Amino acid sequence: MQSIKIMDEILANKIAAGEVVERCASVVKELVENSIDAGSTEIKVELKEAGTKEIKVIDNGKGMGKEDAVLAFSRHATSKIKDEDDLYHLATLGFRGEALASIAAVSKVDLKTSEGSIGTHVIINGGKIKEVGKGDARKGTIITVSELFYNTPARLKHMKSLYTELASITDYMNKLALSRPDIRFTLSNNDNISLQTDGSGNQLKVIKSIHGSDVARKMIKVAGENDDYSVTGYISKPEIHRSSRNNMVTIVNGRVVRNIDINRVINDAYHSYKPDNRYPITVLNIEVDPSVIDVNIHPTKMDIKFSKKDTLLELLKNIVIEAISHRNLIPKAEVFPKEKYENLSLDLERESKIITNDFYKEEEKVLENYLIKEEEPYQVKENIENDIEISRDEENNEGEMPEMYPVGLVHGTYIICQNEKGMYIIDQHAAKERCNYEKFKKEMGRPNVSSIALLFPIIIELSNNDFIILKENMQILKDLKFNVEEFGINSVIVKEHPAWITGDVEYTIRKIIEIVIATRKDFDIEKFNEKVATMMSCKKAIKANTNITMEEMEALINDLRKCKNPYNCPHGRPTTIYYSNYDLEKLFKRSGFDTIK
């Protein structure tokens, strides 16, 4: 008896929908990408109840004729590729021909489209065409998807909260707007607009519409290229960071993609400029020959594979390091009126009552954007790039920490300095940490560093497991100019240590041995030096609540100014904060304004 049968097309589409249509944001993604591929310059996305009730996408693209409008809902029907060779030269966002069929299989679809003459109106319920007739002559397409998953109760049951769905859609639309600043996007939910761009082609204006003017003014323009890749875009100053990698946007040939290696390299380039558990805001456009990449590895087309990835990662690393080094990165103190903090607290309290903990974990970045927009509505300025460049020029001398003069110490912790530009506050512990860190890194990088014999050798006992690991990696310590040998059962004796170890020698040696044991198989000399230098710099830094003399303050400031990165301690905390003369006058209402704005 025959047991294998060909599936019904509607059943096959429902199965395909499980991969293509995961949630409301998946529908928005597929429909908007179709609008972009149709050459639209204006795209509106209108949601009802975060898309759970209705998703409408309106564009001014080239539209479709009657035959194409009906055929578009057939599985594997596409106008974007014709043969296998086209897969290696993709110039469109969509190409698989599965999206519309999958969406129609699990929802009710109303399509109105026209090439500029007679329009077509198609109605589909659960994958079955109910009506095909004439429609409006307006050039473009209006597609409405309602009652998503109405015929697949299991999928409907597991949809997230309205705020989670809206946050996911907003996040996607934000990234899409960054990838196509030349298109005018509008996103609204229940007639409330949450995103609106002007389609001017200015990516910095889109960044401002998403993150606010404060962030936009602290973005750094970057560019670079090699034989295979060309990279342009913006990265944030180290003082601007978020708790999630979600704000690191990578765009390859106009397509927003996810790539763990790219995010890791960019984040590593910020090392010691920011806390390790925080991430920068970046928008990087990568242009490459389509034959060098493969986007056909997942139905969402968000994952991507690169040929010659190493050259791309090296280029990205160099671009970021070059952009943030040799630049004045002293954060300017923000002066906010009391009302702004009160409004923000009320917003946070309101959101916390209606948004689940799961939402905070998944969509924290989008919530931050909502609050920024509520407290400071975005007003488009044609000359935003010029405004930002002027703002940067008005900062202290770029590329070098400005000269400043200490005038006192607060709480034995913060050094108050001044110059003709304004007032500076230096965290003496963080500043000394940075000075120590760069000193130790330099000493540890010397291949012929000298060693010092211990008057009383140090015996270190270990667990049997740690002892075995250390024995395997004993050469690491010897290369660092340690004279260390086995000493009895599960013990080693240290007779000499490198000259750069000072102070509490035994504590430092024990910590270094712990680091060697912890890194074992993944040992990397550069990362090892990094950890040891960070540990020692903190141990030997000036502690808080320690009063130092004016001469010691001057010496610390001079040493800090000689550092390659004088702006952050090795853990990424700022060493210095700046108040301009104008900010000080504003605080004391001496600037001529009746209120602080």
In the block, which residue shows the tokens 């050798």?
457
Question: Quick one: what percent of the chain has pLDDT higher than 90?
Answer: 38
Q: Is the residue at 48 inside a domain?
A: yes
Show Cβ contacts of residue 247 under 8 Å, excluding neighbours closer than 6 positions.
279, 280, 281, 282, 365
pLDDT band, residue 221 (cuts 50/70/90): very high
Number of Cα atoms under 13 Å in the Cβ half of residue 329: 28
Q: What is the DSSP string of 150-164?
A: TT-HHHHHT---HHH
Section 515-532 average pLDDT: 75
Q: Are residues 240 and 148 in the same domain?
A: no
Section 301-317 average pLDDT: 83
Q: Are 100 and 30 in contact (CB under 8 A)?
A: yes
The residue from 340, 365, 400 where one domain ends is 400
What's the CA gap between 504 and 181, in Å, rounded?
57
Q: Are 207 and 214 in contact (CB under 8 A)?
A: no
Q: Are 532 and 515 in contact (CB under 8 A)?
A: yes
Number of Cα atoms under 13 Å in the Cβ half of residue 201: 0
Show Cβ contacts of residue 282 under 8 Å, excluding neighbours closer than 6 positions.
233, 234, 235, 236, 247, 248, 249, 250, 266
Q: Are 553 and 415 in contact (CB under 8 A)?
A: yes
Higher pLDDT residue, 251 or 477? 251
CATH code at 307?
3.30.230.10
Q: Are residues 359 and 456 in the same domain?
A: no
How far, rounded to the nearest angstrom, does the alpha carbon of residue 54 sit from its chain's CA centroid? Answer: 30
What's the CA gap between 137 and 121, in Å, rounded?
11
Q: Are 42 and 60 in contact (CB under 8 A)?
A: yes
List, in sequence order, the alpha helices (H) in 409-458.
Answer: 428-444
- The 108-114 sheet, strands edge to edge: 128-135, 119-125, 108-114, 140-146, 54-59, 42-48, 184-189, 192-196
Continuous segment of H or E residues that includes residue 466: helix 464-472
DSSP 8-state secondary structure symbol assigned to residue 301: -
Predicted confidence (pLDDT) at residue 341 exceeds the cutoff of 80: no
CATH code at 476?
3.30.1370.100
Q: Are residues 13 and 88 in the same domain?
A: yes
Section 266-270 average pLDDT: 92
> Six-digit token pair at 293?
């990449």
Q: Give the number of domains in the chain.
A: 3
Q: Are residues 210 and 290 in the same domain?
A: yes
Q: Is the residue at 576 inside a domain?
A: no
User: What three-state secondary structure class fits 489?
Assistant: coil
Cα dihedral 130/132/137/139 (nearest 10): 70
Q: Are residues 23 and 134 in the same domain?
A: yes
Q: Are 248 and 266 in contact (CB under 8 A)?
A: yes
The residue from 134, 159, 184 where one domain ends is 159
Q: What is the pLDDT of residue 76?
A: 56
In the block, which residue shows the tokens 């790219």?
262
What's the CA gap between 199 and 41, in Å, rounded?
7
DSSP 8-state secondary structure symbol assigned to residue 501: -
Which residues form the domain of 334?
198-400
What's the CA gap between 265 and 519, in Å, rounded?
20
Predicted confidence (pLDDT) at residue 259 exceeds the cutoff of 80: yes
Q: Please return the burial class of 571, using the count of CB atoms within 10 Å of its CB with bins 0-12, 13-18 and 19+.
A: middle
Q: Is the residue at 413 inside a domain?
A: no
Section 556-577 average pLDDT: 92
The pTM of the full predicted model, rounded to 2 decimals, is 0.73
Nearest C-alpha neighbor of 347 from the set 369, 324, 319, 325: 369
Q: Is the residue at 180 inside a domain?
A: no
What's the CA gap between 128 and 372, in Å, rounded?
44
pLDDT band, residue 398 (cuts 50/70/90): low
Cα dihedral 87/88/91/94 (nearest 10): 30
In the block, which residue shows the tokens 């202290």?
396
Q: What is the pLDDT of residue 446?
A: 67
pLDDT band, residue 325 (cuts 50/70/90): confident
What's the CA gap between 109 and 34, in Å, rounded?
15
In the block, which residue shows the tokens 């697949």?
152
Predicted confidence (pLDDT) at residue 128 exceeds the cutoff of 90: no
Q: Is the residue at 589 inside a domain?
A: no
Q: Are 211 and 369 in contact (CB under 8 A)?
A: yes
What's the CA gap between 197 and 181, in Å, rounded?
8
Section 307-322 average pLDDT: 92
Q: Is the residue at 166 inside a domain?
A: no
Q: Are residues 207 and 155 in the same domain?
A: no
Section 585-597 average pLDDT: 66
Backbone angles phi, psi at 18, to 5 degrees: -60, -30
Predicted confidence (pLDDT) at residue 222 exceeds the cutoff of 90: yes
Report strand pairing: 422-427 vs 414-418: antiparallel
Number of neighbouring beta carbons within 10 Å of residue 158: 9
State pLDDT tens for residues 528-538: 778 888 888 88
pLDDT band, residue 1 (cuts 50/70/90): low
Backbone angles phi, psi at 283, to 5 degrees: -135, 105
Predicted confidence (pLDDT) at residue 249 exceeds the cutoff of 60: yes
Q: Is the CA virtual torsion 375, 381, 385, 387 positive or negative?
A: negative
Q: Are residues 140 and 33 in the same domain?
A: yes
Q: Are residues 155 and 220 in the same domain?
A: no
Give the Å distances, CA to CA, from 124 to 72, 108, 145: 12, 6, 10
Backbone angles phi, psi at 6, to 5 degrees: -80, 130
As beta bridge partners, residue 252 has 255, 286
Report strand pairing: 491-498 vs 483-486: antiparallel
Higher pLDDT residue, 597 or 463? 463
Report strand pairing: 248-252 vs 255-257: antiparallel
> Six-digit token pair at 102?
């999958």
Predicted confidence (pLDDT) at residue 202 exceeds the cutoff of 90: yes
Q: Are residues 39 and 146 in the same domain?
A: yes
State pLDDT tens for residues 60-79: 998 988 888 888 887 655 55
Q: Is the residue at 122 inside a domain?
A: yes
Q: Are 141 and 111 in contact (CB under 8 A)?
A: yes
Q: Are residues 217 and 296 in the same domain?
A: yes
Q: What is the CA radius of gyration of the chain?
A: 30
Q: What is the pLDDT of residue 590?
A: 80
What's the CA gap between 569 and 557, in Å, rounded?
14
Q: Is the residue at 298 inside a domain?
A: yes
pLDDT band, residue 283 (cuts 50/70/90): very high
State pLDDT tens for residues 181-192: 999 999 999 999
Average pLDDT, the chain: 80
Q: Are residues 236 and 137 in the same domain?
A: no
User: What three-state secondary structure class fits 320?
Assistant: helix
In the block, which residue shows the tokens 């050039």?
139
pLDDT band, residue 193 (cuts 50/70/90): very high
CATH code at 143?
3.30.565.10
Q: Are residues 300 and 349 in the same domain?
A: yes
Question: Quick one: what percent of the chain has pLDDT higher than 70?
Answer: 77
Q: How many residues comprise the chain?
A: 597
What's the CA gap between 207 and 214, in Å, rounded?
10
Section 136-157 average pLDDT: 83
